[in-house]
């Protein structure tokens, strides 16, 4: 026994499943179980292919409206030269102009790990140079051989 709802939303009453299926076939549509947990289960007469198509279009529309942001990464070493650092900062500013988040990573190798303060100073300097375009979302943190900081556009 199922509760049957017609194509236009009117309740047709409670009837055996086979009779509800036959009613849907006579109208040229599908019988779709809408609420299986209710007592008796609720079924609706509808064009299931059209329903699936509209549901997928709704999902695509929702994806189109949501803006996915990217996280770009800039990698440095604690002894990066001034000229190279200038180029890195220039590209970092371009990323922030495009409204992307930027993860700045300072990588240490070998004995460089004893100079963590130079990596911290480097990250602080970068944060000061791009302060007009972005802010620090995640302050510098150390993860093993790396020190990272995340910047977000203003």
**What average pLDDT does the segment 84-103 reach?**
92
pTM for the model stands at 0.56
Q: Residue 154: what pLDDT?
A: 85
Give the whole-angstrom CA distance, residue 46 versus residue 81. Answer: 68
Confidence (pLDDT) at 36? 85
Largest CA distance in the chain: 81
Q: How confident is the model at residue 42 (pLDDT cuts 50, 70, 90)?
A: very high
Q: Which residue has tokens 């002894």? A: 79
pLDDT reported for residue 75: 94
Share of the chain above pLDDT 70, in %: 99
The torsion region of residue 151 among left (phi > 0), alpha (psi -120 to 50) and beta comes to beta
**Over 80: is that where the pLDDT of 105 sits?**
yes
Which pLDDT belongs to residue 8?
85
Residue 53: alpha-carbon gap to chain centroid? 23
Side-chain-side CA neighbours of 145 within 13 Å: the count stands at 9
The one-character DSSP state at 66 is: S
Domains identified in the chain and CATH numbers: 2-62 (3.10.20.80), 71-153 (3.30.110.10)
Per-residue pLDDT of 44-93, as tens digits, reads 999 889 889 999 999 988 887 776 678 999 999 998 899 999 999 999 99
The pLDDT of residue 148 is above 90:
yes
**Tens digits of residue pLDDT in 106-132:** 999 988 888 888 999 999 999 999 999
Residue 65 · residue 33 · CB < 8 Å: no
- Average pLDDT value for the chain: 89
Query: What's the confidence (pLDDT) of residue 56?
Result: 93
Helix (H), strand (E) at residue 48: helix 48-65
Q: Degrees (nearest 5) of the Cα angle 17, 18, 21?
A: 85
């Amino acid at each position: 026994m199922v509760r049957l709802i017609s194509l236009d939303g009117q309740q047709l009453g409670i009837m055996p499943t086979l009779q509800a299926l036959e009613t849907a076939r006579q109208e040229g549509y599908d019988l779709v179980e809408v609420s299986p947990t209710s007592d008796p289960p609720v079924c609706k007469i509808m064009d299931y292919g059209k329903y699936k198509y509209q549901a997928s279009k709704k999902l695509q529309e929702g994806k189109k409206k949501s803006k996915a942001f990217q996280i770009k990464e800039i990698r440095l070493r604690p002894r990066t030269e001034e000229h190279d650092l200038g180029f890195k900062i220039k590209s970092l500013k371009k990323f922030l102009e495009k409204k992307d988040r930027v993860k700045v990573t300072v990588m240490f190798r070998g004995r460089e790990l004893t100079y963590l303060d130079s990596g911290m100073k480097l990250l602080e300097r970068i944060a000061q140079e791009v302060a007009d375009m972005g802010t620090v979302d995640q302050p510098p943190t150390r993860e093993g051989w790396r020190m990272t900081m995340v910047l977000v556009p203003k």
